[in-house]
Structure 1
Amino acid sequence: MSKVVSSEVKLTITPLKPSDIPSEDEIFNAADSIIESCTTWKPGKTYHKVVKTYTRAKGPDDGAPWHCRISVHKPDEATFDQMWAKLGKDKATNELQFIPDIHKVTKVKEISSNQSIWTLFYKFPPPVSPRVFTELQVTRLSEASPRTGIVISIPIDLSSPEDVELARMEEKGVKGRYASIERIVELEDGSTEWRMATSSTPGGSIPSWLAESTMASKISEDVPHFMKWLHSLPKTEE
């Protein structure tokens, strides 16, 4: 029997076992709903002159509040193709290069050409302990106008006996979790809109209110970090 696509799948910080990963249609439907709606959320500060932020309070189906950032980049700063090449392909490996807190990434399992499980090891200044985030990453590129690329990350739980070999690839550290949707859209004037929405918990003893209070600023930093890194690459790699 064919698998019935449900609209009830929710993206949250509740981790999934690899055997419980929903269909791609379910994942993308849930992600599209969130990323399209974020301009209706509560507006926050604008960082680095171009990064607008929004927040959505924790709802009944959420494990944590949601945060969104939106920025628009002209072609002379970064083209759609340049951004997709680094955000839509080998995303975790590239993030290791431009997000200072990430110290190691490991591909745990390749499920298909656009689905894989990664574990990311973060180090923070003392007294915060290292964090480990294990995530399913799912990508989709649409060449229809406007060209659109999307990367979805969903927290994965490898504690089941059948996943013991995969779990051995995780680093030692406090288990954190995040769900995120990252989308780039090519606009009519050739600019690229970059949206990212995320819901997360650092795990451990860090109070949720403290983590939430810095989220908008923290996710906004990724934009200048990425652009600085992109512009540092040899022209053949951009």
Structure 2
Amino acid sequence: MPAETNPAPHLTITPFKISDLPPEEQIIAEGKALIESSTSWKAGKTFFDTVHTSYRGKLPGDGAPWYCRISEHKPEEITFDQLWEKLSKNKAENELQFIHEIQKVNKVKEISPTANVWTLYYTFLPPVSPRVFTVVQVTQLSESEPRTGLIVSLSIDLSDAPELQKLEEKGTKGRYVSVERVMELENGNTEWRMATSSTPGGSIPNFLVESTMAKKIAADVPQFIKWFQQKSKSQK
């Protein structure tokens, strides 16, 4: 049998130099293709009663398998506009507040109003050493029905930009690529779907990472909702 075609050949853990990034339109198009393909991935476990997961093995060009989480949220929990605002604007700074492993984030470069490079510094329990993930985050909002927001994150290599590289913390370089889609549903709810492929770098065996990936990405949902609701209460 011929190998399955990869719908998003540029969405890989292999990092890009900033000067070599594909056009934003291409990044978004591949992000759409990938997140739409995730609806047919193999179903995984459901976590926290509400967060469903799925996964897909490596296709040609992939550096690691893909994992997906899907959750649906009622307006009283969070609206489309509220979720999109937190994900599309200063996403890394918001993640710093609810993902406990993230200790520091830095905006490295604004490429355009819809494309920004961020570096994120993670710490973990020993013996795992700190990790540095540097990514470009490209966003697009479509107001046509159903309203849909997309955030695509690609790994970035700053080795040819020493001034920008100074903004990175010291640590083992990890790599990830992800696509997040926020979509307004006909019933008034909002679907939040995220697919990611990653490697932590260093000497951590891949099977250890992959065995916990689904639960790890699923946990971000209740952590985010709790943070958002606490933040909303404090602002009233």
TM range (shorter): over 0.9
In the alignment, structure 1 residue 49 sits paired with structure 2 residue 57 = no
In the alignment, structure 1 residue 22 sits paired with structure 2 residue 22 = yes
Which residue is 1:147 aligned to?
A: 147
Selected match of 1:233 from 228, 231, 234: 231
Which residue is 2:196 aligned to?
A: 198
In the alignment, structure 1 residue 179 sits paired with structure 2 residue 177 = yes
Give the deviation of 1:76 after TM superposition.
0.9
Task: Encode CA deviations 1:182-226: one digit per residue, 9 max, x unaligned.
Answer: 110001111000000000000000001110110000000000000
Matches within 5 A, 1:79-158: 79-158=79-158
2:18–2:156 Cα contact (<8 Å) kept: yes
2:8–2:34 Cα contact (<8 Å) kept: no
Alpha-carbon distance between aligned partners in 2 of 1:164 and 1:134, rounded to the nearest angstrom:
14
Alpha-carbon distance between aligned partners in 1 of 2:162 and 2:71, rounded to the nearest angstrom:
40
Structure 1 stretches of 4+ moved >3 Å: 234-238
Identify unmatched segments of 5+ residues in structure 2.
1-6
Alpha-carbon distance between aligned partners in 2 of 1:140 and 1:217, rounded to the nearest angstrom:
27
Which residue is 1:73 aligned to?
A: 73
Identify unmatched segments of 5+ residues in structure 1.
1-6
Selected match of 1:224 from 222, 225, 232: 222
Q: CA RMSD in A?
A: 1.4
TM, length-normalised to structure 1: 0.94
TM, length-normalised to structure 2: 0.95
Alpha-carbon distance between aligned partners in 1 of 2:194 and 2:90, rounded to the nearest angstrom:
17
Identity of aligned residues (%): 61
Selected match of 1:169 from 159, 167, 170: 167
SS for the counterpart of 1:100 is: coil
Give the deviation of 1:51 after TM superposition.
0.6
Give the deviation of 1:10 after TM superposition.
2.1
Alpha-carbon distance between aligned partners in 2 of 1:120 and 1:191, rounded to the nearest angstrom:
31
Task: Encode CA deviations 1:24-83: one digit per residue, 9 max, x unaligned.
Answer: 111011111110011211110000111110010111210000000001001111100110
2:84–2:149 Cα contact (<8 Å) kept: yes
1:149–1:183 Cα contact (<8 Å) kept: yes
Selected match of 2:210 from 209, 212, 217: 212
Which residue is 1:58 aligned to?
A: 58
Give the deviation of 1:175 after TM superposition.
0.1
Give the deviation of 1:88 after TM superposition.
1.2
Which residue is 2:10 aligned to?
A: 10
Give the deviation of 1:8 after TM superposition.
7.2
1:9–1:26 Cα contact (<8 Å) kept: no
Give the deviation of 1:98 after TM superposition.
0.7
Alpha-carbon distance between aligned partners in 2 of 1:227 and 1:140, rounded to the nearest angstrom:
22
